[in-house]
C-alpha cells in the first residue's frame, strides 16, 4: 500500500510541476494558449503525457527508496543512541523508538514538503546488524555518518 501511495503522490507532484511549466510558457507567449495548437495532437497528446507521468510515477518508488545494511557488532551496548546522534547531526529528529526499531523525520519543513512527507528514515538493529531504510538520495550520506559513529 505504501508503494502505491508514493506513486500517487509523485504523479500528482509531477503533474502540478508540468502544468506550471506549460502554464508559464503559455502566459509568456512562448506556446499558444490553445491546447489543440500547443501540442501536435491536441488533447490526445495531453493524455499521452499523463500516461508517461503515470509510468514514471509507478517506477520512482522502486528506484527512489532503499535499504542499507551495516555491521553494528562493534558499536557497544546501545548502537541506536549512536545512530540517533549521527542522524541528528544530519538534520533528522527522532520520531519514535520501539525496542530495536527507531524512526527519524527531517527537521526541515521545506524538505518534508518537497519530499511529500516521505522523509522518514527507519533504523532497525537485529543481532549485530543495522538496517537503514529511506529515500535513496539521503541514505548514502546518512549511511556514511552512521558508519563513522558506529566504528
3-state secondary structure 117-140: CCCCEEEEEECCEEEEEEEHHHHH
In this prediction, residue 47 carries a pLDDT of 92
Tell whether the model's pLDDT for residue 20 goes beyond 80: yes
How many domains are contained in the chain?
A: 2
Q: Quickly state the pLDDT bin for 4 (edges 50, 70, 90).
A: very high
Tell whether the model's pLDDT for residue 74 goes beyond 70: yes
Shared domain for 59 and 77, answered yes or no, is no
Q: Which residues pair with 92 in a beta bridge?
A: 106
Selection from 38-42, 111-115, 121-125 with the highest mean pLDDT: 121-125
Phi and psi of 117, rounded to 5°? 80, 5
In this prediction, residue 116 carries a pLDDT of 87
Q: Quickly state the pLDDT bin for 38 (edges 50, 70, 90).
A: confident
Shared domain for 45 and 75, answered yes or no, is no
Cell of 79: 548502537
Backbone dihedral region for residue 29 (phi beyond 0: left; psi -120 to 50: alpha; all else: beta): left
Shared domain for 85 and 51, answered yes or no, is no
pLDDT in tens, 52-66: 999 999 998 888 889
Shared domain for 59 and 88, answered yes or no, is no
**Which among 113, 116, 117, 120 is positioned nearest to 94, based on CA atoms?**
120
Shared domain for 142 and 71, answered yes or no, is yes
Shared domain for 20 and 51, answered yes or no, is yes
Shared domain for 137 and 78, answered yes or no, is yes
Q: Quickly state the pLDDT bin for 75 (edges 50, 70, 90).
A: low
Shared domain for 57 and 75, answered yes or no, is no
Last residue of a domain, one of 63, 94, 109: 63
Shared domain for 70 and 116, answered yes or no, is yes
Task: Check if the beta carbon of residue 93 is closer than 8 Å to that of residue 104.
Answer: yes
Shared domain for 13 and 48, answered yes or no, is yes
Backbone dihedral region for residue 71 (phi beyond 0: left; psi -120 to 50: alpha; all else: beta): beta
What range does the domain containing 106 cover?
Answer: 65-150
- Report pTM: 0.76
Shared domain for 84 and 136, answered yes or no, is yes
In this prediction, residue 67 carries a pLDDT of 92
Amino acid at each position: 500500500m505504501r508503494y502505491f501511495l508514493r506513486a500517487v503522490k509523485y504523479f500528482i507532484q509531477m503533474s502540478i510541476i508540468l502544468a506550471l511549466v506549460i502554464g508559464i510558457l503559455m502566459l509568456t507567449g512562448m506556446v499558444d494558449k490553445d491546447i489543440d495548437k500547443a501540442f501536435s495532437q491536441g488533447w490526445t497528446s495531453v493524455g499521452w503525457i499523463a500516461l508517461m507521468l503515470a509510468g514514471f510515477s509507478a517506477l520512482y518508488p522502486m528506484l527512489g527508496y532503499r535499504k542499507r545494511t551495516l555491521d553494528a557488532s562493534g558499536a557497544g551496548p546501545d548502537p541506536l543512541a549512536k545512530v540517533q546522534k549521527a542522524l541528528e547531526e544530519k538534520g533528522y529528529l527522532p520520531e519514535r523508538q520501539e525496542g530495536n526499531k527507531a524512526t527519524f523525520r527531517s527537521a526541515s519543513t521545506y524538505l518534508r514538503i518537497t519530499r511529500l512527507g516521505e522523509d522518514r528514515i527507519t533504523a532497525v538493529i537485529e543481532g549485530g546488524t543495522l538496517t537503514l531504510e529511506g529515500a535513496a538520495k539521503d541514505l548514502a550520506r546518512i549511511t556514511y555518518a552512521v558508519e563513522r559513529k558506529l566504528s
